Each structure stands twice: as C-alpha cells, then as structure tokens.
Structure 1
Amino acid sequence: MMLCHSVLFILSLMAFMQGSDGSSCDEDCADKPVFSPSRLVVKYGDQASARCTACQSDCQSDQTNLDVSIGKPRKDGNIILWKVDSMTAWDPSAMCYYINDDGNMCCNHLPVTVYSPPQHVMIYPERDYGSESEGSQYSLNCMVYDVAPVENLIVTFYRKQTVLGQLRLNSTRKTPMTVSLILNTYASTEHDSDLYWCEAKLDLGPGGPQHPVVVRSRESMVMMTASGTVIQSFTFLIFCLGFLHFSCN
C-alpha cells in the first residue's frame, strides 16, 4: 500500500509541475496545510524559519512536500520545517502541499515580506524659492534612500512638532529603491525660521518588528525676509563631537 501511495504521489506531482498556471493546486480544500507563522516578515540578510503542518488527518508523510526558492525544508512526519540561514532573496516563495488519495493536490502559500530599513533620509526645498512671497506655494522634498519594500513606506512631514502631511507610494517593487516624496506647503512669516523635517516609517504590519522601523531626517530651516520672501534654507548637521554646525543650501 505504501508503494501505491508513493507512485500516486509522484504521478500527481509530475502532472502538477507540467501545469505552469498551478490550476491543479487547491487552496480552498477542507484540510489545507497550515503555516506557523501565517505570515513571515524578515530583514534582508537575517535568519528566517517557518513550520508547515501539511494536514491534520487526510495525508501520509510521503505525500507531503514544501517547495521553497531558498533554504532547505526538513520533514518530521506531517510537519515540514523551513529554515534560511541568511535571507538573500527579495521575493522568496514557500508552498506547502500534499496529494490526497484521489490524486488531488491541496496547498497553501506562505506570504513572505523581506525588508530593508531606510539607509538615509533627508529633506530640502524642491527648488530655489528666493523670489517666493507670503502665501506662495513651495515644495518640500523628502528623499528616502535604499528602502524596501516601498509599498510599506509611510513618509510624514513635520514643521517643528506639527504634522503637515503623510504620503505613501503605490509600487509593488520588492527590491530596495531610493524614492522622492514631495509635499506642497505655503510661505508664511508666521513660521519664519521654523524647523522642517520628515520621517520615514516601514509599516510592516502583523509579524513585523515590535517597534516600527523609523528613520528621521535632519532638520531644515526656512528663513524669510521682513517682506515675506523665502530667501534660503539651512540644514542642521549634528556631529558626534556634540557641537552644532549649519550650512546654507
């Protein structure tokens, strides 16, 4: 009987592999494989692991498998363990499945998010606003360097401790990107010499780091003349020696 199960499993697996659209894989079966955790979030280069219980009662251990794009799975009965020593894939895949006695494949895919925190964040005026006057619109540019995935990135603009706005990107790219987000605001003598800054946060949701990944830019000062004209922007640089230096953009 064991030989019959093995032959049936091999034949069913070959039929599945020939179907590139994966239409023979049923993700709505009653006794579908279960991953723990149900969603994996891992920093690029870190270790990662997950466990799949292929079925509760409807399969034999020789009818189960775990297809992964990185790392090696290890079987322990109907439980399959997946471990990656160093996550070096930006879009890894893991599919756990079994073949039932009718030759049908029951499967489940593990959602995996690989992230990289922003390496640097900076804010500056989008262009020279030397001729802008009271009430004129100008733009603040927040540059976020080498972050992934950008669809989980939230950028918040601040004037001192006041939130001016939040922006997100609509992109499904998995690999790190350097992105520019621009917020329009208005010149006002009321806020002359106020400090502006932006903050980049990776909102990785359930399964992500206990404390969200947040990187803040240095502060930028917008100065105005008595007539209400924006004349220059200063960026403050804080050095390890503990003193403050500023340079005009």
Structure 2
Amino acid sequence: FIYLLFSDLICLFYHLTDCPLILTPAEVVVRFGDRVSVDCSVASTTDFLGMGWEAAFGGTGFEQKSSLTWTVEKVEEWNIYPQCYMTQKNGEQCSVTPDITVYKTPDTVKVSAVVGGPMVEGKEYTLVCGIDNVAPVQKLKVIWYRDNEKLSNETFDGTTVTPVNEYSTLTVTADRHHNGALFRCEAVLHLGPELNLTTAKNSSTDITIELKSINSNKTPILASSDAPELIQERGYVTVFEGENAILNCGARGNPPPVFMWTCKGMNISENTTNLTITRATISTTYSCTATNPLGEITKEIHSSLTWTVEKVEEWNIKPQCNMTWKNGKQCSVTPNVTVYSEYYLLSSC
C-alpha cells in the first residue's frame, strides 16, 4: 500500500512537470466586479507550435506565440475556470488552469441577542452574529471578542462559491464582573496567507445584565444591575423659613429606578431624583420611593424649619413651633426670647 501511494505521487509529479506552461500568478484572488488577468508562457519552445486561452470570457484562441495573457475587465461570474493550453509539433497538447477565487465582503455584520432586554446574573444567553451576502463561505471565519479578549472563532463548511447569508452564535453566562463589557464579532475572509489579503467587517453589541443578588455599525449592548439601594442614609435637612432647599433621594439601581416623592400621603413629584422646596414655611417629612423591576426602597427626609429674623425690630417676640402626629394630635413649644437694646437673639425650634 505504501509503495503504490509513493508510485502515484511520482506519476503525478511527472505529469505536472511534463507540461512546460507557466502561469503568473498561478493563484488569483479577485473581488467580484473587479478586473483580473493571468499570464501564461512557455518554459521551452522546443517542438512548440502554439498556445491559447480557452475561457467563457477572455479567451484568445490559438496563436503562434510563446506568451499570452488572459484578461477579464469586470468579473461577473463566480465560477471561473480559464484554461491555458499549448500544442506541440507532434500534435500532443497539455494545459494548466489557474486557481481563481472570486470573493465578496459582507453587506452587513450585525450582533443581536436571542432574548431582548436586560439579562439576569447566572443565566445563559445566546448572542447571534449575522453575516449577510458573503462569498466564498468556506473562506469565512467569525471571531468573537469581549472587549479586546478573543473568546472563540468559527469556520464554515460548504462548496458553494456564490454569496450566502451565515450566522455564528456565542453563549454567555451573565456575570457582574463583566459589567459594561462590549461584545463584538468580526467576520474575516481568509483568502490565503501567501496572498496577504484579508478583509474584515465587525459589529458590536452592549448587553445589559440584571444581577438578581442584581454592548453592536449604534448597536444593542454587559452591565450589572441591582434593585434600588440608598447611596446616602442621611435623612435630615435644615431649611430656613422662606428659603428654598433641594432634597436628594440618594438612591441608585440598574435598570435606573423611577422616583416618586410624597408628603403626608400625597404625591407631589415623580421621575426625578431631586425635589425642590420653594419658600419653606413648615417642618415636615418627605418620602422618596425608588422603584425598578427588581424591587423598591423608600427614604424619608425630615425637613426641619429654622425660624430666623435678620433684624429684630419688635420688643415682644413669641415665635411658636408646632408639631402634628399621625393620629392628628398636636403640640407646640415657644422659645423664650429676650430682646435688649444692643443685640438681637436668634432662636430655633
């Protein structure tokens, strides 16, 4: 068996070298719609009669020349098999055929998620890279990246040389450590390292991941998420009577929470993290509720009104600070203010 295989190889080598035709280049890569040409020449003119190119496009016919060029100004066929042949004076012929690859880069390369919307930590999801109208598919490689880290690559089988639509999938497990990561796929046509010709298009996607415990050319998009939580616990603010103040809910979450402000059971503002108090007249308690699909949290901010008089011009001053309980009961206190001629006193409730 080994002897037969070796003999077959020797015969094949002898047959190929028996035809003294030289192609330049012997391998051609051409983009669909571009110009292509191949030179064919005779290594030895001994007993040489003539040569020619046989082809559906660009054929030359038989000529008594030792060199001929096959040319097509605009390649509009995917299967191209031109044949250069020669005839010896004794009537024998031989021929050679260049290896021609006609290629087309993808019209679009697009990343999408099989399931839209935020992802949940710990679950698996599938990303799809769609490559439209590319040829030849057997030369195509799709490479997946997370940021600049290469994750995987995929090649494709097939014998068709005409453009096709293909897709590649990547399974990812939602992980908060990949918060904000950019996933992208790159479609590359490997047309031969010796030809030094690689063409690529890529698309990226940002994917939002909800962490239950919580990325694409303009793209869909790994960001971690949480139920709302308080950024700052402080819930007291001092406001001078008649002045303005801004209260901050101090909550965050992902997806971003929706805010609702209430005072004494009444809704007073929504969809804003800040509440502006204009010309404060009373001490009271404001509640801010931050809500997203993963939960909600409520923060109470107690606004303490400070009574102040910039310039005392009365001798008998009796300010009163009032308080009301939820059951409707009330109480009040009055500071003891003594006015004398050289200074004024500032007292607060």
Shorter-chain TM-score range:
0.7 to 0.9
Q: Give the distance between the partners of 1:58 and 1:153, measured in 2 at CA.
A: 45
Cα contact 1:220–1:236 (8 A) shared by 2: no
**Match for residue 36 of structure 1 among 4, 24, 39:** 24
Paired AA for residue 95 in structure 2 = C
| Structure with higher RCO (Cα < 8 A, 6+ apart) | 1
Give the TM-score, by structure 2 length. 0.53
Which one has the largest radius of gyration? 2
Alignment partner, residue 223 of structure 1: 208
Alignment partner, residue 39 of structure 2: 51
Q: How far 1:113 moved relative to its partner? A: 0.5
Cα contact 1:154–1:203 (8 A) shared by 2: yes
**Match for residue 164 of structure 2 among 177, 188, 211:** 177
Give the TM-score, by structure 1 length. 0.73
Alignment partner, residue 140 of structure 2: 153
Alignment partner, residue 212 of structure 1: 198
Cα contact 2:86–2:93 (8 A) shared by 1: yes
* Aligned ranges 1:1-249 → 2 under 5 Å: 28-62=16-50, 64-73=51-60, 75=63, 77-128=65-116, 133-134=121-122, 136-206=123-193, 208=195, 210=196, 212-217=198-203, 219-227=204-212, 235=216, 237=218
* SS state at 2:16 partner: coil
Q: How far 1:76 moved relative to its partner? A: 6.6
Q: Give the distance between the partners of 1:55 and 1:27, measured in 2 at CA.
A: 15
TM-superposition CA deviations, 1:140-171 (whole Å, max 9, x none): 21111111111111111111111110111011
Q: How far 1:48 moved relative to its partner? A: 0.7
Q: Give the distance between the partners of 2:53 and 2:128, measured in 1 at CA.
A: 45
Q: Give the distance between the partners of 1:168 and 1:41, measured in 2 at CA.
A: 19
TM-superposition CA deviations, 1:201-248 (whole Å, max 9, x none): 11111564x55211111x21111223167xxxx65818xxxxxxxxxx
Cα contact 2:141–2:153 (8 A) shared by 1: yes
Identity of aligned residues (%): 23
Q: Give the distance between the partners of 1:163 and 1:133, measured in 2 at CA.
A: 22
* Change over 3 Å in CA distance of 1:27–1:115 after alignment to 2: farther
Q: Give the distance between the partners of 1:157 and 1:207, measured in 2 at CA.
A: 25
* SS state at 1:28 partner: helix
CA-based RMSD: 2.6
Cα contact 1:50–1:82 (8 A) shared by 2: yes
Q: How far 1:132 moved relative to its partner? A: 5.2
Q: Structure 2: give runs of 5+ residues left out of the alignment.
A: 1-13, 220-349
Paired AA for residue 112 in structure 1 = I
